[in-house]
């Protein structure tokens, strides 16, 4: 793959990671007492033009 592809993908993934972490942290703060609780999480990346839908699931512990 080209260097511009690699750079644009890294930029996108960094943006996803940073903004997702901020949103999750804010939601956890607003929820209040989350210590010891587990929250199922799902993230989906879609590229319509490439017919791509990639799903990642996991658990976030408070």
Residue 59, pLDDT score = 98
Residues 3-62: pLDDT tens digits? Answer: 999 999 999 999 999 999 999 999 999 999 999 999 999 999 999 999 999 999 999 999
At 39, give phi and psi (nearest 5°): -125, 120
**Count of the separate structural domains present in the chain:** 1
pLDDT of residue 1: 87
Domain of residue 21 covers 3-61
CB atoms within 10 A of CB 61: 9
| Per-residue confidence (pLDDT) for residue 10, from 0 to 100 | 97
Cβ within 8 Å of residue 55, ≥6 positions away: 42, 43, 44
Report the C-alpha gap between 14 and 10 in whole angstroms. Answer: 6
Do 37 and 59 contact (CB within 8 A), yes or no? no
């Amino acid at each position: 793959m080209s260097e511009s592809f690699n750079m644009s993908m890294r930029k996108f993934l960094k943006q996803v990671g940073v903004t997702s972490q901020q949103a999750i942290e804010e939601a956890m703060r607003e929820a209040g007492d989350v210590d010891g609780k587990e929250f199922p999480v799902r993230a989906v990346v879609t590229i319509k033009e490439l017919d791509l839908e990639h799903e990642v699931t996991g658990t976030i512990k408070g």
